[in-house]
Amino acid sequence: MNTIRTLLIAAAAGIVTPAIAAPSTGPATQPAGMQPAGNPAVSPTLRHRARAAIARGLDYLKSVQNSDGAWQSFGVPDPAITSIAAQAFAQDPDYGPAHPVVRKALAFVLSHRQKDGGIYRPGLNLENYYTSVALMFLSSQDQGDAAVARAIRDAQKHLKDMQWTESRGRPESGDAITPEDPWYGGAGYGSHKRPDLSNTQMMLEALHQSGLPATDPAFQKAMTFISRCQMTSHTNDQPFVQTARDGGFIYTCANGGESKAGTVEVDGQPVLRSYGSMTYAAFKSMIYAGLSRDDERVRAAREWIGNHYTLEQNPNMPEPHHLQGLYYYYDVFAKALAAGGEDVIVDAAGRRHNWRQDLIEELLGRQRQDGTWMNPADRWYEGNPHYITGLTIMALQEALK
């Protein structure tokens, strides 16, 4: 418990061990996890195939962009889907932020700026999610544009204002959120939604992409919430952890804990089950917040990643739900491993995997004839080809860096 108190108090106070500048090469006998391997390159042939797949995906997205610059969600022009699709164009060397496709999308997204600084469709109570993806897109634009710079600053402030910290009270009671509260440091979908790891990592990704440093209190306070989503009793003080010790992450620690993967039996007791998309999301968030490779939480997550390495499914999601959230998983997989600075993962059997090449091969095999990607296990909007094609292109772009 002393370890737990020290970690949580340090995170709440903004005291976190800084990340090391570069990973050190360890012995060949390291346990399952990630090992540095001299940045193995993606082969020229595979790189060429990936670039061709990205071009086909962008051709599709360009063909379905509305005249107002938007892409759609359920037939409605949507600033979140538009931000995701447009960022894929902005990051592509054949288009870039000045391309008319991107400029039209930018005008549409900026038209959804609200008085509170957020960028969203009113009435959906999805302000955190919408503002986060919009801020990521804005971060790919010309920072010398005064309107863009102002929108970035306002969106950053809005996201930080919505984080559950001392400045906010619980929606049902008004009671102050303190570091002892399981909600502390997290973010939810909207202003009245309990926090979850998915929205918290989206907030941190947006703040990171828009240049906010790891020392900012938003990152450090988020570490308190994220640590409480990790299924290890060594560093988590929440009752639902019990005897859990696998190091993976669940959806939320709020309100007694919840996992979209259900439960698993540990020592004869049902324990919330960790799964891939949340574990990779938490891992990259810890890196963004400046935690070192030697931090116990980072080590546990790295080992989980090695023990559950796969690109065929969202790892550790039970049947028949193993394909749910698959493309969200690909997105956080690429960003997390790139942030970790290591290009080879060693799995539980000791096999070494060049994750960049593995991811590219997997995504090339899943592209449809019309250039799109889409998840047949349609949950969490993954049946929308506008959204999933944009998200997949950005995962490929990350793998090609």
Which of 128, 129, 56 has the alpha carbon at shortest distance from 92?
56
98: which residues sit within 8 A by CB, 6+ positions away?
142
Which residues make beta-bridge pairs with 346? 33, 352
In 125-194, which ranges are E strands?
Answer: none
| Whether residue 195 has pLDDT greater than 90 | yes
Distances (CA, A) of 265 to 127, 212, 237, 268, 270: 36, 40, 20, 6, 4
The bridge status of strand 76-78 relative to strand 352-354 is unpaired
CA-to-CA distance for 219 and 342, rounded, in angstroms?
Answer: 22
Taking only the tens place, the pLDDT of each residue in 17-67 is: 333 333 333 333 344 555 444 345 799 999 999 999 999 999 999 999 999
**HSE-up (13 A, CA, CB side) for residue 56:** 15
Neighbours of 30 (CB within 10 A): 15
| Whether residue 395 has pLDDT greater than 90 | yes
Q: Alpha-carbon Rg of the chain, whole angstroms? A: 20
Neighbours of 145 (CB within 10 A): 14
Across the chain, mean pLDDT equals 89
Mean pLDDT of 126-145: 95
- Residue 248: phi and psi, rounded to 5, are -80, 180
Which of 398, 392, 391, 395 has the alpha carbon at shortest distance from 80?
391
Reported pTM: 0.90
CA-to-CA distance for 382 and 81, rounded, in angstroms?
Answer: 12
The bridge status of strand 76-78 relative to strand 71-73 is antiparallel
Taking only the tens place, the pLDDT of each residue in 231-289 is: 998 899 999 987 778 899 999 999 999 999 999 888 888 899 999 999 999 999 999 99
Distances (CA, A) of 86 to 105, 143, 164, 209, 388: 6, 16, 30, 15, 12
Neighbours of 168 (CB within 10 A): 16
Which of 150, 130, 154, 133 has the alpha carbon at shortest distance from 142?
150
Which of 40, 21, 22 has the alpha carbon at shortest distance from 345?
40
Maximum Cα–Cα distance across the chain: 59
